[in-house]
Each structure stands twice: as C-alpha cells, then as structure tokens.
Amino acid sequence: MQNLKWLAQYNDNTTLKQIDDDGTKNAYSDIDRSKLLAFMLFDESAVLDGLTKPRFAVYFDDNDGERLVWTRRAFQTVGQNHSVIFHIVGKKTTEQKQGFIMAIAPDGQTLVRDNFVDDGLFDEVIQ
C-alpha cells in the first residue's frame, strides 16, 4: 500500500499521471486545479478484472471553490529501520474548516476527519 500513485482527471477528458507510461515524473504542483474533475490514488498491485482500480478518489464540482489536499507523511518509530508512509488526501472549500481530510495507512485502514481538527497526523496540511 505504500506505493500509491496519483492521477489527476480533468473536465476536458484528459489526465495527468504522477508517473507517465514512459517513466516521466510529474510534480504535484503540475496539476491544473482550474479544470480538476477527480484526484485518484492507485495501488498498482490492486488489479481487478485486468484493470487497476483506484484505492481512493476525490471528485470536484466545477467552480465551487473546492481545493485539493494531498501529501505523504513518513513516520518512523524507535527500533524500526524503515518509515511507515501515510497518504493524506481530501478537499477543502474556500470557507475555513469545511470539507474533509483522510489518512490512508500502509495496511489500507483509513482515518477521516470532517472538521479539520489537528491531531498531529494532519498538522500543517490543513492550514
């Protein structure tokens, strides 16, 4: 689950992948938020009926002021020799503290907040 990749789907039927088929990497900042229809996270090992299915998707309405929130958080506890990666994803409206934010753990478990209360995991992302 730590190898989730993003894909931005636009309202003009085009997409932007985190990593293109030719290996080219696109930055999160390359996403054109003015025409964003959906932001999806894929686990490349999760294939159903020959197709990779999104692990999670956030959909956006046209021109309603919703803003995409996404980042990765790496945590390492004492005695571990590797980091545990959480994907933080959600959307926020132009009005303060409305929307939702979600953490996806490496084992697939999720934690959802709808009031943007900081509990350490979401620190700085919700600002």
- Note the pLDDT of residue 127: 39
Q: Where are the domains of the chain?
A: 4-113
- Note the pLDDT of residue 126: 41
Chunk the chain into consecutive blocks of 10 residues (it has 127) and report each block's average pLDDT, rounded to whole numbers: 81 92 92 91 65 78 76 75 79 70 77 64 49
Q: What angle do CA 83, 124, 114 make, to 5 degrees?
A: 100
Inter-residue contact 93 to 67 (CB < 8 Å): yes
- Note the pLDDT of residue 3: 76
**Separation of alpha carbons 14 and 25, rounded Å:** 17
